[in-house]
């Protein structure tokens, strides 16, 4: 992928709630990257636009998921955090994981978010979490199975603008990638949000 010209744009940012802590640097969020999915323009439109009327097949499953896979990378954002990586998948040098052998784990919104919360708070065992906080977190996160379940759109592009960007950048020498971001915020665990990046290659 490094030899190809990848052009990306974020077309929508959605959240379970607004982050009220304005002192948190935007580049200090804990970020979870997902393996790209290839879609046609029409499929992307029918699945995600307008985001509050259409929804893809369940994009999240807090127990098991098949087609959204987590890519673990080790990243340092101005000493804000380092994203953990799987020992058997990455040497923690900062390179992307090669998912071609199917080793990238399926997305679990519950597990990935809780893992980030625990990392931020230096909690090594789930049993050390206040039971009330864990119950509240579990009840909240189980609400979200589709993008349309997320109550807040922090920003989004109109479909006309998305098409305009695709037309301007579709030159045959580039791979076009549309990002949808999910910002999951729980002020009881972290002052900032956990950011999920959902990339879609347009073919």
User: How do residues 62-118 score in pLDDT, each as one tens digit?
Assistant: 555 567 888 866 544 444 444 443 333 333 233 444 555 557 778 888 999 999 999
Single out the residue of 144, 129, 111 nearest to residue 189, CA to CA.
129
pTM > 0.85: no
Residue found by looking up tokens 């900032």 in the block: 192
Per DSSP bridges, beta strands 70-71 and 37-39 are unpaired
Q: Cβ-count burial of 53 within 10 angstroms (0-12 exposed, 13-18 middle, 19+ buried)?
A: exposed
Q: How confident is the model at residue 9 (pLDDT cuts 50, 70, 90)?
A: very high
- Specify whether the CB–CB gap between 104 and 70 falls below 8 A: yes
């Amino acid at each position: 992928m490094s030899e190809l010209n990848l052009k990306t744009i974020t077309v929508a940012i959605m959240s379970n709630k607004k982050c009220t802590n304005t002192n948190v640097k935007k580049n200090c969020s804990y970020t979870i990257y997902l393996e790209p999915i290839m879609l046609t323009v029409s499929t992307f439109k029918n699945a995600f636009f307008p985001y509050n009327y259409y929804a893809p097949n369940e994009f999240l499953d807090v127990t098991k998921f098949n087609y959204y896979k987590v890519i673990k990378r080790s990243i340092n954002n101005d000493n804000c955090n380092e994203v953990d990586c799987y020992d058997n998948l990455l040497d923690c040098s900062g390179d992307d994981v090669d998912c071609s052998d199917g080793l990238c784990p399926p997305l679990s919104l519950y597990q990935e978010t809780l893992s980030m919360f625990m990392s931020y708070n230096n909690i090594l065992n789930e049993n050390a979490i206040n039971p009330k906080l864990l119950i509240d977190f579990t009840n909240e996160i189980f609400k979200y199975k589709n993008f349309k379940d997320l109550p807040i759109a922090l920003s989004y592009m109109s479909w006309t603008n998305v098409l305009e960007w695709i037309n301007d950048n579709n030159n045959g020498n580039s791979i076009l990638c549309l990002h949808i971001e999910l910002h999951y915020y729980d002020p009881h665990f972290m002052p900032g949000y956990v950011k999920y990046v959902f990339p879609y290659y347009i073919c």
